[in-house]
Amino acid sequence: MEAKTEISVQKLEASHLSSLSSLERNCFPGWYWTEEQILSHFESQQGIGIFHKSENFADKILCYVLYLENAWEIEILRIGTDPNYRRKNYASQCLRNLIQENSSKTILLEVDANNSKAIQLYTKHGFQFVDKRKAYYENGNDAHLFMRQGLLQ
Ligand SMILES: CC(C)(COP(=O)(O)OP(=O)(O)OC[C@H]1O[C@@H](n2cnc3c(N)ncnc32)[C@H](O)[C@@H]1OP(=O)(O)O)[C@@H](O)C(=O)NCCC(=O)NCCS
């Protein structure tokens, strides 16, 4: 009999450190956050993930978003999808959930100007280019600042 599978969006926390850390390494080779950085993020800040539940295996995190939040805005710091599960709308699902749960807040993020996949993802979800930071990244690439205005701003 085929195992039943289920996808859900869940809050991430320090207990997810081990799977999150290996996902982070796969998504950002060369500039990933260390376990210490991830743990320190969860001391005061948030994250959500797409979980793949299966009857036969432990839950697997397919996609994650780590962000800073205050009363007015959210800043996305990390977003990544397991390389084996890309282009299946998981990052979209994560972003949609974040937007719906925080509809009054403005959402901000910085992205490498050469990261066209991520830029297409943000544009698709209503983010607009607002500014550029020249040679912002270690590799000399510019950062582009994108914003999605909250309903009450
Ligand atoms: C960017 C990333 C998060 C997208 O995750 P994903 O789950 O594959 O994205 P989705 O399936 O939800 O794709 C949504 C949209 O993003 C864009 N997109 C995603 N992958 C793309 C690709 N390979 N080429 C072109 N556009 C792409 C498309 O607009 C897509 O919509 P469409 O499928 O209707 O054309 C993923 O590629 C990733 O983890 N990259 C490495 C980490 C990274 O660069 N993070 C962003 C840092 S700012």
**69-125 residue pLDDT tens:** 999 999 999 999 999 999 999 999 999 999 999 999 999 999 999 999 999 999 999
Are the CB atoms for 106 and 146 separated by under 8 Å? no
Q: Which of 87, 94, 119, 145 for mutating ligand 1's site (highest number of atoms within 8 Å of CB)?
A: 87
pTM here is 0.95
Tally Cβ neighbours within 10 Å of residue 84: 8
For the chain, domains (ranges, CATH) are 5-148 (3.40.630.30)
Segment (H or E) for 132: strand 128-133
CA distances from 70 to 76, 106, 128, 152 (A): 12, 10, 21, 14
Q: How confident is the model at residue 153 (pLDDT cuts 50, 70, 90)?
A: low
Distance 145 CA to ligand 1 centre (A): 17
Tally Cβ neighbours within 10 Å of residue 137: 14
Looking at residue 34, the DSSP 8-state letter turns out to be P
